[in-house]
Amino acid sequence: MIREIVKYPDPILQRPTERVADFNDQLRALAADMFESMYKAQGIGLAAPQIGVGLRMTVIDLSNQKDPDDKLVLVNPEIVHKEGRQVEEEGCLSLPDIRDKVVRAAKVRVRAQDLDGQWRELEGTELLARAFQHEIDHLDGILFPWRLSGLKRDFILRRIRKLQKTGEWK
Ligand code: NI
């Protein structure tokens, strides 16, 4: 089922999520909904709070449905190692049309459970490393403008407030 993407400043996006404890059919259905909603919105990553669910879970598919091997579900993910530095432009489905360059680690290793509760480690570089960091930030209640300088962040927040006033921010 396609669910509506929650936009900033909804408080659910700014709260740390709860760990997933039950690996059941409901969780599988949630993952399916997250993929469907992400594809509809043309995203490459989506965190559960972005469809209004405060659970520590995210889905990523850099291939945008082209390669089934690229479909990743990360339950209770943690970054266990990061190295290097990359600076690339980033966006977020919860902050439409807002983009900026964000400093991230170039390579990260993530420990996460799958939908059966099995733990595994995944490694990502470049765009995948960026997606891991962006999505895990979501699970900690952090949006990408929070990773920018105070000046840039304030500029973005002012721009959003203006759009809210004119009804262009939905
Ligand atoms: Ni995002």
CATH at 47: 3.90.45.10
Q: Is residue 84 part of a domain?
A: yes
Q: Is residue 135 part of a domain?
A: yes
Task: Check residue 46 and give its pLDDT.
Answer: 98
Which residues of the chain fall below pLDDT 70? none
Q: Is residue 71 part of a domain?
A: yes
Structurally, the chain folds into a number of domains equal to 1
Q: Is residue 158 part of a domain?
A: yes
Residues 6+ apart with CB under 8 A from 166: none
Distance 24 CA to ligand 1 centre (A): 26
Task: Check residue 96 and give its pLDDT.
Answer: 94
The pLDDT tens digits for 39-53 are 999 999 999 999 999
Helix (H) or strand (E) holding 87: strand 86-92
Q: Using CB atoms within 10 Å of the CB of residue 121, give its burial: 0 to 12 exposed, 13 to 18 middle, 19+ buried.
A: exposed
Distance 93 CA to ligand 1 centre (A): 6
Q: Is residue 5 part of a domain?
A: no
Distance 138 CA to ligand 1 centre (A): 7
Q: Is residue 6 part of a domain?
A: no
Active-site residues, by number, are 135
Distance of alpha carbon 43 from the chain centroid: 10
pTM above 0.85, yes or no: yes
Task: Check residue 170 and give its pLDDT.
Answer: 78
Q: Which two tokens stand for residue 130?
A: 């960026």
Q: Which two tokens stand for residue 78?
A: 């943690």
